Structure 1
Amino acid sequence: MRMPLRWLADYTDLAPGTTGADVAASLVAVGIEEEDLHGGDISGPLVVGRVLEFDEQVQKNGKPIRYCVVDVGQNGQMLTEGKHQEIVCGATNFAVGDLVVVVLPGATLPGDFHISARKTYGRVSNGMICAEDEIGLGTDHEGIIVLSRLLGAEAAAALTPGDDAIALLGLGEETIEANVTPDRGYCFSVRGLAREYWHAQGSPAGGFRDPALLDVPAANDAGFPVRLTDERPIDGADGCDRYVARVVRGIDPTRPSPGWMQQRLTQMGMRPISLAVDVTNYVMLAVGQPLHAFDVAKLSGPVVVRRARSGESLTTLDDVKRVLSPDDLLITDGGEHLLALAGVMGGASSEVDDATTDVLVEAAHFDPTSVARTSRRHKLVTEASKRFERGVDPQLAPAAAQLAVDLLVEHGGGTVDPGVTDVDRTSPRGAYLLDVTEPGRIVGVDYPRDRVVEILRDLGCGVEESGAGTDATHVLVTPPSWRPDLVDGPDYAEEVARIDGYHRIPSVTPTPVGGQGLTHGQKTRRVVADALAGAGLTEVLTYPFVAEGLADDLMLPAGDDRRHAVRVANPLNEERPLLRTTVLASLVDALRRNVSRGHKDVALFELGLVFRPGGELGRAPIPSVLERPSAETLEQLYAAVPAQPRRAALLATGLAERAGWWGPGRAADWSDAVAAVQAVATALAVELVVANDPGHAPWHPGRCARLTLADGTLVGHAGELHPKVLAALDLPARTVAAEFDVDVLIAASAEPVQAQPFSSFPPAMTDIALLVGSDVAAADVATALRAGAGESLESVVLFDVYEGEHVEAGHRSLAYRLTFRAADRTLTTDEVNGFRDAAVAAAAAATGAVQR
């Protein structure tokens, strides 16, 4: 929301020499964030110019450039010895004869941008034809400013080349731009910001002049007929609970808006259009009440406010035909002819135009929720909808309509109908019994009772000190109509602290208490992340929302528990309404995005929660905020929350080892995924058993490892993804992946690791080759060898697998290196041979292995 200093001075007192920075600082002191400062930073010649001719040429890069001759009046004669200015311009939205804004050499634009004559595109440009954003007038950079479009044809016709554009556009005056939070909708007006500035100055008596304090005639039966018929209130609230209509007849449609009004609209970032439209916009900016002007000649019946019917459509003022929802609130003519989307935008069929002489001014109060939903449904955010959805003062409509009527009569030459329509269904705000010690208790500052009451009255609250329930510490407080956010004690406590001054609240550094350090689970998660990063993977964080068809892309079986996903009631993206049941489901998006942007060798991992409902979840109740939820309610809430185990997943594609002068590179394969999980287990001192798993999606059936603890508890899977999965997900061929349960590893590593004494005696190594069936897992053979070899066995390592000549079909040869070591002596050859034979015998008994 913008606010020029001179407009602010109309409503409150400004000390001599007050700058925009001073005002912005005062607003920040009462919680209104400064967004920017505009104007006041332009110096030098900024003038009106007329385009006399131009030569347009297309450059090698395809960009059209115009070499213009511009009449800039006396300024140009002084600078160029009577010659018109030659200016190079890249915009094409103007024609010969248009009046434009020209900045001449020697001027300085916002951002300390100095203008000088310089050579560009092969010619000298003596200045620049300006766009809105270049002079701080707005943010538009699509083309340069054409004054007949900005100010209107009649206003532009009164200008001559050489006129001062700084004064014309109000650029010499500072304009403050504030960031208004959703709970302070009343600050979407100069009136609201002026009130806040007045508070920041200590709320001096008589220092605030409310523009809405007007004598407004009472409603009568002679007004324009209006009916409010909301058949489907939203959340129990009528879509429109107040509608004021006033009619002004005999307006001269040729009269332009006064120059001061056009300038203020321009300073606020709005374009002057016509008198009727400019008046409604000006009043909205002044007091915060959106208005709409209808052409009375285009109305054939009473105004009827109702909800849309199925199949109805409306072409709005932006020339877009919008198919309406039954929840959209409409302004209609007699109930049938659609005039406007209530609180959002008017319809094209009833807009005022160059022939309009009789105007109906609408000032209404619409339900914030209804307007917000309509605005989002149609992706149509307007100045009106921004104010209505934040809450407009329901008592403001009559005064705003009167302001508009007075301006139309004064500047349009019309007369006001004696009839006044005011359909009022609003309800007065109830009083709240406030404990005046509560602000001090919440904030930690001692606020005397008199100070609390004074602040509340300055805010516009009604304060009764002798009503029912009042005593030495309690008063009845009725919030002002423009503050729907004031509901209970904490709200009033915040206001007291804000107006009294945040700087009065002492900053006390809290003394930290001794902590217990990280939990075992937190330490384990850090070890897991460190181990995966040490293995060369990069950690990423992805959103846990996935598409419905992803389970099919991953080729998950019909009965797989990973297909049972929780659906989000209000998803951020309608295309991703489900919560992930596997971390890989969201990690594939990150890998695909990196590959699509040219990264060939990518290795990613993520630690995160998955959501496993395990069947039907109960429906969560909405507990009351007035009391603690009952045990039954808490049980229902917990029953509605899915299990959320913590998992880690990794994906890798491309080269695991890069090529270079040292030799050829190596592509990532299934063994890298297994090794990464084994590195995690080693870092946690947890033993993993690796075995083939031929049927676990989404992995390749011949290249998938099942990872378990020694007791058989499943940890996860690792290997190469199925080719059909890679094709469905648009991932590179031979991409490898792993996913494992971090919670299982946390539990397995909970017991402290007992350090083993190191033997100083030499190891004894022996190799064996065993012939086994092709369906026998190497891990099963290693387990049997370990079980039979005895306590002196230090390690078992598979170092060769052979299938081919001299090996029976359907079999393979597995070569293991057994390392033995005793703690108290050097082992003899006979002892080692005995251990080896016992290990081979155990493997033969368990797997049918035959020593070669």
Structure 2
Amino acid sequence: MPLVVTEWLADHVELPTDLTAEQLAAALVKVGLEEEAVHAAKVTGPLVVGRVLAQTPEPQKNGKTINWCLVDVGPEHNATQIKGVDPADIPAGGARGIICGAHNFGVGDLVVVALPGTVLPGPFPIAARKTYGHVSDGMICSTAELGLGDGGHGIIVVPRDLGIEDAVPGQDAIALLGLGDEVLEINVTPDRGYAFSYRGVAREFSHSTGAAFTDRALVSDLPAATADGFAVEVDDAAPIHGVVGCDRFVTRIVRDLDPTAPTPSWMKRRLEASGMRSISLAVDVTNYVMLDLGQPLHAYDLDKVAAPVVVRRATPGERLTTLDDVDRALDSEDLLITDSPDGRASRVLGLAGVMGGASSEVSEATTAVLVEAAHFDPITVARTARRHRLPSEAAKRFERGVDPRLPAVAAQRVVDLLVEHGGGTADPAVGDLDATTAPAPITFPVGLATRVAGVEYPREQVVGILEQIGCTVAPGPTADEVVVTPPTWRPDLTERVALVEEIVRIAGYDQIPSVVPAAPGGRGLTAGQRVRRSVARALAEAGLVETLSYPFIGDAELDALGLPADDARRTAVRLANPLADDRPLMRTSLLATLVETARRNVARGLPDVAVFEVGLVTLPTAASPAAPQLPVGVRPSADELEALAAAVPAQPRHVAAVLTGRSDLAGWWGTGRTADWADALELARLVAERAGVAVAVEPATDVMPWHPGRCAALVVDGGDADERIIGYAGELHPKVVERTGLPKRSVAFELDLTALEDAASGEPVAATPVSAFPAAKEDFAFVVDDAVPAETVRAAVVTGAGDLLEDVSLFDVFTGEQLGEGRKSLAYSVRLRAADRTLTADEVRAAREAIVAAATEAGATLRA
């Protein structure tokens, strides 16, 4: 986000002398530039200029030599007594004794001194302290210690490093260095790229407050292009999305530069306060003009570039080492700056609008500079920057749209600064390849803003605001319309509603009344909403925690679940522009993302996890039609909308849960109990119960990601078996547990909640009358083969008991030698009751016999 230095902003717009960063932020918020942060002053306390009066080198045992210095820091701060120093050796005006380990200064030099009480960036408070046998009463500062750079130049010598010859001891160095200024960081929306410059922010401050604004980009005396300008060609025979990648390219040349010329201190201070590191004069000047006006520029070493420069797309196999020393493989969509030295094959000089190459960069030996100021296609630059993960300052501006009138103005400004501060000479040759077009005019109904915003905007106010933001307004085809031509720095103003937004923004969002719409009459929650809320509440009451996860997965997540290659869940919608390259697919199973949530909790020291999620999955089929490309700017036809709807894949709502570790915690009451497949199955049945759907349980032996012997399929009663399965519950497969990093014997379930909602009757649940008559309780133990599901026997019991059955539950499963190999005993507790009478012994006996008969028919034998 851009950083705004108030002192620099004042070059463009009149500011109150007492303007604070908070006041500036409040003014900019009114016109839509939100405050991101206010960065406090870098240094506080007594930071002053000092003159070195004496410097005594003192070698140390560790091989290091330190300097014991007497420094005049002004009458207000000098001391007349210094511990360990003969009073006769102290100047009449006093001084401070300071230890310094640097050696790039000497007696008589003016330096920057942090006195006790100063707080340097870090924060690093300064205090008098005893060191190397002396009391150091302050610190002589370098650029790094003041937060002004990397400290490569050592101690700051004011005349040499800052170019200030008239500084005096005791002078406030905070004001001298601009270290006491607060810096405002603002948030700029993608359509307001002009606000990435001081020119743009100043304009917005003027709109907000009415302060006088001077557009420093409106320069009329620029030199015209000459025939001998540095040759540039644009070869973009296959433009992306029908737009040529470069429609303007200005070149200027500055010769006889002093390669040792330093960047002026005021420029370096402004750059660093705005978040940019000072590098060299030529580079700093291009960065300074970019921040000031909004036009990215690039400086080439003229001796390393051969004419003509050709702007073209990359070809297969080309590579480029960019200024950050990274060797990059180029893509055919990348727009390049190239040349052909000595008639050799084309050489890549840089990624257009993103970053230059190392082969032509300005160095310490550069004496002639070729200045590039161009206008590139925003989409091309944006795609290149993202493709190579290079969010450079230039790319941030180009991808949001740069004023096509700026290149010549910015190039001239760079030339002027290099001549002034680098001792160079401006070459009269000027290159300007210009194929830009004027912004398209918009026919605008004057009353449209009033109709959209609900606020009365008179014609004079509408026209005035449009002219204020830089538009040209002319009479329209009717009395109620005007023809508006947007300014070149606002490429986002392409349609009527954009102009409405500008009118509302400048007039003030606070003028729009807050009217709460009347709530229409309704019937409350839908049946599906009630089911979803009931299910989520039931699982939460059962001790599970609801979570949300992003619905994006990759092949790795599907591989971790062990899904076969022909599994339908392998067919997924692929995103054209995924948030992460390794997760380009829409999930087809909730467990694909929920297991990662559980794993992360386990990895962070929480072994007992019980989480669930209710969310959508996307289930395309191989026969799903492709989505049509609908027109932009006009309403699609009914057929087009129908085709679009047909292309949308099914998106049912699922519910899933994962349990690891203990379901009943350990304590003084016992060792607790580990969650097993039965817990997952019971939770799945709870979901079906809350949905109001009766489900049956069947064994499932070959369904990933579940254990082949500890998994159950839940089916809805009735219909074809293949269509009745609405989910699975059980223990996860050991290999799945290993791949996903979950504890052993972790369990899970996943159900199609949409299918449950569809299977529900939709009728209100009627309360069952409570019988006042006593119940008859009977227990049965049936012996069956191991392969017979307990649910089969239970269903037989229900059928045999008939209308008298109130409840049946399995309370014991037994295996042993007395039953025989491959046999098991299932014990059920049955409660019988009539609503209108006390059951007789004959009725109970008949019900018992019917239950035994039904179980026998199902393959069970009553155990004696």
TM-score (norm 1): 0.90
Q: Which residue of structure 2 aligns with residue 738 of structure 1?
A: 749
Q: Which residue of structure 1 aligns with residue 535 of structure 2?
A: 528
Q: Which residue of structure 2 aligns with residue 63 of structure 1?
A: none
SS of 2:550's equivalent? coil
State the distance in 1 between where 2:608 and 2:129 align: 48
Conservation of the 8 A alpha-carbon contact between 2:440 and 2:494? no
Q: Which range moved further: 239-248 or 144-153?
A: 144-153
Structure 2 residue corresponding to 1:84, chosen from 94, 97, 100: 97
Conservation of the 8 A alpha-carbon contact between 2:230 and 2:307? no
State the distance in 1 between where 2:12 and 2:68 align: 41
Q: Which residue of structure 2 aligns with residue 61 of structure 1?
A: none
After superposition, what is the alpha-carbon deviation per residue over 1:523-570, rounded to whole angstroms, capped at 9, x for unaligned?
A: 110111111111111111112222214444433345432232222222
State the distance in 2 between where 1:121 and 1:516 align: 84
Structure 1 residues 106 and 634, CA, compared in 2 at 3 Å: closer, same or farther? same
Q: CA deviation at 1:760?
A: 1.3
Structure 2 residue corresponding to 1:447, chosen from 430, 441, 457: 457
State the distance in 1 between where 2:444 and 2:70 align: 65
After superposition, what is the alpha-carbon deviation per residue over 1:645-684, rounded to whole angstroms, capped at 9, x for unaligned?
A: 1111111111111222112211111111111122333444
Q: Which residue of structure 2 aligns with residue 73 of structure 1?
A: 71
Residue 671 (str. 1) matches residue 678 (str. 2)? yes
State the distance in 1 between where 2:513 and 2:832 align: 71
After superposition, what is the alpha-carbon deviation per residue over 1:237-286, rounded to whole angstroms, capped at 9, x for unaligned?
A: 11111011112222233332333323322332323333322222221121
Conservation of the 8 A alpha-carbon contact between 2:473 and 2:482? yes
After superposition, what is the alpha-carbon deviation per residue over 1:131-171, rounded to whole angstroms, capped at 9, x for unaligned?
A: 99996x58x9xxx7555599999526989998754134212
**One-letter code aligned to 1:546:** I
Q: Which range moved further: 384-393 or 575-584?
A: 575-584
Q: Which residue of structure 2 aligns with residue 268 of structure 1?
A: 274
Residue 316 (str. 1) matches residue 357 (str. 2)? no
Q: Which range moved further: 43-52 or 335-344?
A: 43-52
**One-letter code aligned to 1:348:** A
Aligned residues: 829
After superposition, what is the alpha-carbon deviation per residue over 1:711-751, rounded to whole angstroms, capped at 9, x for unaligned?
A: 36333221112222222333221111111121233234422
Q: CA deviation at 1:394?
A: 0.6
Q: CA deviation at 1:80?
A: 7.9
Conservation of the 8 A alpha-carbon contact between 1:39 and 1:171? no
**One-letter code aligned to 1:27:** L
Structure 1 residues 133 and 26, CA, compared in 2 at 3 Å: closer, same or farther? farther
Q: Which residue of structure 2 aligns with residue 389 of structure 1?
A: 399
Q: Which residue of structure 1 aligns with residue 441 of structure 2?
A: 431
After superposition, what is the alpha-carbon deviation per residue over 1:592-646, rounded to whole angstroms, capped at 9, x for unaligned?
A: 1112222111111111111211333211112123332223212221222111111
How does 1:326-341 map onto structure 2 within 5 Å?
326-334=332-340, 336-341=346-351
Q: Which residue of structure 2 aligns with residue 279 of structure 1?
A: 285
Structure 2 residue corresponding to 1:246, chosen from 222, 247, 252: 252
Q: Give 5+ residue unaligned stretches, structure 2.
A: 83-94
Q: Which range moved further: 714-723 or 257-266?
A: 257-266
SS of 1:785's equivalent? helix
Q: Which range moved further: 8-17 or 188-197?
A: 8-17
How does 1:601-616 map onto structure 2 within 5 Å?
601-616=608-623
State the distance in 2 between where 1:505 and 1:121 align: 69
Conservation of the 8 A alpha-carbon contact between 2:715 and 2:727? yes
Q: Which residue of structure 2 aligns with residue 179 of structure 1?
A: 187
Structure 1 residues 151 and 162, CA, compared in 2 at 3 Å: closer, same or farther? same
**One-letter code aligned to 1:796:** V
Q: Which residue of structure 2 aligns with residue 651 of structure 1?
A: 658
Structure 1 residue corresponding to 2:241, chosen from 230, 235, 242: 235
Q: Which residue of structure 2 aligns with residue 3 of structure 1?
A: 4
Residue 573 (str. 1) matches residue 573 (str. 2)? no
Q: Give 5+ residue unaligned stretches, structure 1.
A: 59-65, 88-93
Q: Which residue of structure 2 aligns with residue 537 of structure 1?
A: 544
After superposition, what is the alpha-carbon deviation per residue over 1:797-836, rounded to whole angstroms, capped at 9, x for unaligned?
A: 2222222132133322222222111222222223211110
State the distance in 1 between where 2:811 and 2:655 align: 29
After superposition, what is the alpha-carbon deviation per residue over 1:54-109, rounded to whole angstroms, capped at 9, x for unaligned?
A: 99999xxxxxxx9987858324853983553459xxxxxx9654899764322356
SS of 2:555's equivalent? coil
Q: CA deviation at 1:16?
A: 4.2
State the distance in 2 between where 1:180 and 1:246 align: 31
Conservation of the 8 A alpha-carbon contact between 2:248 and 2:376? yes
State the distance in 1 between where 2:589 and 2:671 align: 35
Structure 1 residues 109 and 251, CA, compared in 2 at 3 Å: closer, same or farther? closer
Structure 1 residues 52 and 630, CA, compared in 2 at 3 Å: closer, same or farther? farther
**One-letter code aligned to 1:2:** L
Structure 1 residues 363 and 752, CA, compared in 2 at 3 Å: closer, same or farther? same
SS of 1:756's equivalent? coil
Residue 802 (str. 1) matches residue 808 (str. 2)? no
Q: CA deviation at 1:410?
A: 2.4
**One-letter code aligned to 2:582:** E
How does 1:368-379 map onto structure 2 within 5 Å?
368-379=378-389
SS of 1:419's equivalent? strand
SS of 2:612's equivalent? strand
SS of 1:606's equivalent? strand
TM-score (norm 2): 0.88
Structure 1 residues 436 and 234, CA, compared in 2 at 3 Å: closer, same or farther? same
Structure 1 residues 842 and 355, CA, compared in 2 at 3 Å: closer, same or farther? closer
Q: Which residue of structure 1 aligns with residue 791 of structure 2?
A: 779
Structure 1 residues 345 and 810, CA, compared in 2 at 3 Å: closer, same or farther? closer
Q: CA deviation at 1:696?
A: 2.6
SS of 2:203's equivalent? helix
Q: Which residue of structure 2 aligns with residue 361 of structure 1?
A: 371
Conservation of the 8 A alpha-carbon contact between 1:100 and 1:145? no
Conservation of the 8 A alpha-carbon contact between 1:328 and 1:374? yes
State the distance in 1 between where 2:589 and 2:687 align: 19
How does 1:502-521 map onto structure 2 within 5 Å?
502-521=509-528
Percentage identity across paired residues of the two chains: 52
**One-letter code aligned to 2:823:** H
Q: Which residue of structure 2 aligns with residue 45 of structure 1?
A: 46
Structure 1 residues 40 and 728, CA, compared in 2 at 3 Å: closer, same or farther? closer
Q: CA deviation at 1:111?
A: 11
Conservation of the 8 A alpha-carbon contact between 1:46 and 1:103? yes
Q: CA deviation at 1:215?
A: 0.9
Q: Which residue of structure 1 aligns with residue 228 of structure 2?
A: 222
Structure 1 residues 395 and 56, CA, compared in 2 at 3 Å: closer, same or farther? farther
Conservation of the 8 A alpha-carbon contact between 2:235 and 2:312? yes
State the distance in 2 between where 1:287 and 1:523 align: 57
Structure 1 residue corresponding to 2:353, chosen from 326, 333, 343: 343
Q: Which residue of structure 1 aligns with residue 14 of structure 2?
A: 13
Q: Which residue of structure 1 aligns with residue 85 of structure 2?
A: none
**One-letter code aligned to 1:236:** G
Q: Which range moved further: 116-125 or 214-223?
A: 116-125
Q: Which residue of structure 1 aligns with residue 837 of structure 2?
A: 825
**One-letter code aligned to 1:227:** E
**One-letter code aligned to 1:320:** V
Q: Which range moved further: 259-268 or 381-390?
A: 259-268
Conservation of the 8 A alpha-carbon contact between 1:101 and 1:147? no
Q: Which residue of structure 2 aligns with residue 723 of structure 1?
A: 734
SS of 2:11's equivalent? helix
SS of 1:11's equivalent? coil
State the distance in 1 between where 2:155 and 2:352 align: 28
Structure 1 residues 699 and 70, CA, compared in 2 at 3 Å: closer, same or farther? farther
SS of 2:27's equivalent? helix
Conservation of the 8 A alpha-carbon contact between 1:73 and 1:162? no
RMSD over aligned Cα atoms: 3.4
Q: CA deviation at 1:517?
A: 1.5
State the distance in 1 between where 2:306 and 2:583 align: 48
How does 1:699-718 map onto structure 2 within 5 Å?
699-711=706-718, 713-718=724-729
Q: Which residue of structure 1 aligns with residue 568 of structure 2?
A: 561
